[in-house]
Chains A and B, each alone.
Chain A
Amino acid sequence: MSDTLVLLDHTASGDLRTPVRELVTLARSLGGGVRGAWAVDGAEPSAQALAELGALGVTQVHRIVADADLRGTAVLAEGLAGLVEATGSTTLLAVSSFENKELAARLAVTTGAGVVTDADALERVDGRLVAGKTVFAGTWTTRCAVRTALAVVLVKANSVVASDADAPVEPQVTEHAFTPTPAATRVRVVERTDRPDSGRPELGSAHIVVTGGRGTEGDFTPLEELADVLGAAVGATRVATDEGWIGHDAQIGQTGVTISPRLYIGAGVSGAVHHRGGMQASGTIVAINSDPDAPIFEIADYGVVGDLKQVVPQLTQELRRLKG
């Protein structure tokens, strides 16, 4: 059985993005070894990242190095294609994100890979990879088998619980240097501005997300206080971001960030279909809304018909008390 290659999404300071640990955990369950692919796009793997990868059981970390800007997805796709070939990998896993979808699309064209995006489960059945995914705004579940020799599977954050390997290893760090084709460098990254750290977990991978909509009337303070007691990320509906109450990067929905946290708390969120498409796969859904007819109550595990300005601060206070 060949090794599984995992794309190691990382921060500008060389630390692993949270969902990568989940991906490596999933990769181990497929059998065979697990290798990591690290794009040296300005950041080298930090000592902590290597220690974490060792604990997760990653035997080799391949540093992808190019004499071109690896932030360009066309460039990185060529590096990954070369690494897949050099390592003989038949499975490449990456976090399901828009950038990684660009990589997957290119690999599909250049390597003949079969691609599954937004997977939430993965197993090997009779030698074939079979991925689970939800479709139609989380209302249907499907299982898809990959027919091709190379499978590229993009896995949603929070699909599995990350766990360390039974025996830690010391990852061997090697270099995969390549020269991109002129075609890959036609797109110039003129500017890239990393989002400032909010001090809260990242929205796309947080285990708990507190979301505000129109019903907040622009005041996110009670939601932020609740989020901080829970160690949660703060998200918003399209209405809230369009009103400028919070940044566009907080928008949850089919065209914004798609989330599937263990716990989703929506306050003043009506639950329009575009929003539901971005959160309906969440573990437990809690909704607080003054309108008893709000569609979000149709999918909520726990709904409160009430004024969020009363309910949310009381919830925060009580949680603070219960958690001591």
Chain B
Amino acid sequence: MKIVVCVKYVPDIQSDRRLVDGRAVRDGGDGTLNELDENAVEAALSLVEAAGEGSVTVVTVGPEDAVDAVRKGLQMGADEAVHVLDDAIAGSDALATARVLAAAVRHVGDADLVVTGMAGLDGLTSLVPTALAALLDVPALPLAASLEVTGSVVRVTRNLDHASEVLEADLPALVSVTDQANEPRYPNFKGIMAARKKPVTTLTLADLGLDAALVGDAGARTEVLEAAPRPARENRVLVTDTGDAGARLAAYLVENQLV
């Protein structure tokens, strides 16, 4: 089974995240592999281990530092990596990112399964997995809280706001996994050393035969007009309970017409 995992390099959510010119700042050493993509790598590694054969390729699209994201995937146990690096990509929206990923997945070739995380913890749009599946013309099974592959059929369970579902499709297919799907492994020393020898292929848009006008700012279908940190909340109250805090809170809620 050949699995391609698409991962994203994002600002660490514990860092001071910010936007400049409408884009998330992803430099300055505060970047990391999107936490939710660790679940995707783990799911792929587990499937290959269970099948006893196969390979896992990690793919990312992003600036130079983004190679750290695929390296983490290699340290966890993936076999090889692809990093699409091109100045024209900066400012890409979710659809343009999906276009580049689709071209990269095709470049890797013959994937039985494409696995992604459920969302990037920076933009949180969750648009890329389904858009990627549509562009690759394979069925999408997003938000898998569990998944299994039996023969050539993939089956997932997923929990939506109002219902839970079991979905099934024939391979090749795309699955996005949630943080319920598994507990990602930590790279051990052996894994970290082994990763140094694993191949990372760097590709440009030209290598993928992609038109630069479809990606980056030029291809973006939305434009950020304004972005600013939210002002701190005003008139904040902090009380220590001395026996009547519940009653005082009730009075606050009623006075402010919150209940």
A interface residues (Cβ-Cβ under 8 A, vs B): 11, 17, 71, 73-74, 97-99, 101-102, 104-106, 108-110, 112-118, 130, 134-148, 183, 186-195, 202, 204, 208, 230, 248-249, 254-255, 257, 262-263, 273-274, 277, 283-286, 288, 292, 297, 299-307, 310-319, 322-323
Given A140-B227, A192-B163, A312-B246, 18 further pairs, Cβ under 8 A: A101-B126, A101-B130, A105-B127, A114-B221, A115-B221, A142-B227, A144-B224, A146-B222, A187-B168, A195-B162, A255-B118, A263-B259, A273-B13, A283-B258, A304-B239, A306-B245, A313-B246, A314-B250
Q: Which of B94, B167, B169, B246 lies at the interface centre, i.e. has the most chain A CB atoms within 10 A of its CB?
A: B246
- Shortest CB distance B254–A (Å): 5
Given A148-B221, A204-B161, A306-B240: A118 in contact with B124 (beta carbons within 8 A)? yes
Q: Knowing A102-B142, A248-B159, A255-B36, say if A115 contacts B127 (CB, 8 Å).
A: yes
Contact between B123 and A135, CB atoms less than 8 A apart: yes
Partner of B18 from the list A140, A193, A230 (CB cut-off 8 Å) is A140
A277 to B13, CA, bound (A): 10
Contacting pair B236 A303 (CB below 8 A): yes
Q: How far is the CB of B43 from chain A (nearest CB, A)?
A: 15
Cβ-based interface call for B63 (8 A): no
- Chain A contacts for B13, CB-based, 8 A: 137, 273-274, 277
Query: Could you say which residues of chain A place their CB within 8 Å of the CB of B247?
Result: 314-315, 318
Instruction: State how many residues of chain B have any CB contact under 8 Å with chain A.
Output: 83
Contact A297 B238 (CB under 8 A): yes
- Complex Cα–Cα for A97 and B220 (A): 23
Selected A-B contacts with CB under 8 Å, 24 pairs:
A74-B139, A97-B161, A109-B134, A117-B125, A136-B19, A136-B122, A139-B229, A140-B18, A140-B19, A140-B230, A144-B225, A147-B223, A183-B137, A186-B169, A190-B167, A193-B163, A230-B259, A300-B238, A305-B241, A306-B245, A310-B241, A310-B246, A318-B251, A323-B259
CA distance A230 to B140 in the complex (A): 40
Q: How far is the CB of A34 from chain B (nearest CB, A)?
A: 23
| CA A204 to CA B85, docked complex, whole Å | 38
Task: Using CB atoms and an 8 Å cutoff, list the residues of chain B in contact with chain A.
Answer: 13-14, 17-19, 22, 36, 94-95, 98, 118-119, 121-131, 134-135, 137-143, 145, 155, 159-170, 173, 178-180, 220-230, 233, 235-241, 243-247, 249-254, 256, 258-259
